[in-house]
Amino acid sequence: MKTLRKILCAALAATCVIGMTFATSCGKSADFKVGICQLVRHDALDAATEGFKFALEAELKKEGKTVEFDEQNAQGDTVMCGQIVTSFVTGKVDLIMANATPALQSAVAGTQTIPILGTSVTNYEDALFHKLTNGATGYNVSGTSDLADLEGQANMLLDLLPNVKKVGILYCSAEANSQYQADELKKHFAAKNVVAEDVKFSDSNDLQSVCNSAVGKYDAIFVPTDNTAAANGEIIDGVFRSKKIPVFAGEEGICKKCGFATLAISYRRLGEQTGVMAAKILLGNAKVGEMPIEIDTKQEKKYSKARCEELGITIPENAGYIEI
């Protein structure tokens, strides 16, 4: 009986520790409660969430404060994003971190009082249907943008593939951020006398058929920072890799799954920026509506050695490329 009690006590203690990960001890509530709504699981969004939690906890610890996270994943469902936000509002969280545009839009629709920080959002004006003033929203929303150097990405693709004349831009038609990137990329490619066309899919169900229909039409495929593509990169790889069609990726997570190269920011670092912003808000050192949207200015050239070798693509030496 004593042994059984010891086992039960140990199990209870472990459960308590797990349930209060960011509290100082079992039974003691944290100083702040933060809700995290992440649209879907894939490398980029996961890295942003982890960076956010790490930086926020570290910043609060400097002031002797603790934070408890209510982290939920919407599994790619925008309706579930709304339900998650409702649970945060009901639970009276002190701040909401919305990871990806649909999560941000749901948070904005769900509360006008709780501070909201977005991350992994490309264009806040398009996402919020709201003009920024000096980079800030003026209400309970701010955050970080994952907008990459689109002109630099287009130039990098053409530097590595100088004979390309026609590029297909593959993205989900339901993602406003991807549409924005595609429109901008077409301008940059046109300036280089390269034709770029939309290759749209509606969701993961028709992704493979859309990829198959693009085979033979384009010299290369460009996949921007698109959440649906990121979550289903293996499908893209399965179609284009066998046909030896090069895929340039808008971010590292997509590149790992299906691309030969990318010019990308660090989503981990972007999440950390968001965490620092959150700490300033929670500690009363900044007002969310007055905080300009931040970006990560450091971008890195990365490549897949295996795919480059398969495609016969030579990566220039001493040009700062990093193998992934």
pLDDT score recorded for residue 311: 97
pLDDT score recorded for residue 9: 40
The C-alpha atoms of residue 97 and residue 116 are separated, in whole angstroms, by 6
Rounded to two decimals, what is the model's pTM?
Answer: 0.83
pLDDT at 206 over 60: yes
- The helix/strand/coil state of 116 is strand
Pairing mode, strands 166-172 and 220-223: parallel
Residue range 166-177, pLDDT digits in tens: 999 999 999 988
Inter-CA distances, 127 with 145, 180, 202, 218, Å: 11, 10, 19, 30
Residue 314 per-residue DSSP state: P
The amino acid present at 217, given as its one-letter code, is: K
Residue 222 per-residue DSSP state: E
Mean pLDDT over all residues of the chain?
91
pLDDT at 1 over 60: no
**What would the mean pLDDT of 90-103 be, rounded to a whole number?**
97
pLDDT at 3 over 70: no
Residue range 11-34, pLDDT digits in tens: 334 333 333 333 333 456 999 999
The C-alpha atoms of residue 220 and residue 216 are separated, in whole angstroms, by 10
Residue range 148-160, pLDDT digits in tens: 899 999 999 999 9
Residue range 60-86, pLDDT digits in tens: 999 999 999 999 999 999 999 999 999
Assess contact for 123 and 279: CB atoms under 8 A.
no
Look at the alpha carbons of 304, 307, 310, 312 in this order and tell me if their dihedral is positive or negative: negative
Residue range 210-240, pLDDT digits in tens: 999 999 999 999 999 999 999 999 999 999 9
DSSP string computed for 235-279 = HHHHHHTTTT--EEESSHHHHHHH-SEEEE--HHHHHHHHHHHHH
pLDDT at 40 over 50: yes
pLDDT score recorded for residue 176: 87
- Side-chain-side CA neighbours of 319 within 13 Å: the count stands at 13
DSSP string computed for 158-211 = HHH-TT--EEEEEEETT-HHHHHHHHHHHHHHHHTT-EEEEEEESSGGGHHHHH
pLDDT score recorded for residue 28: 67
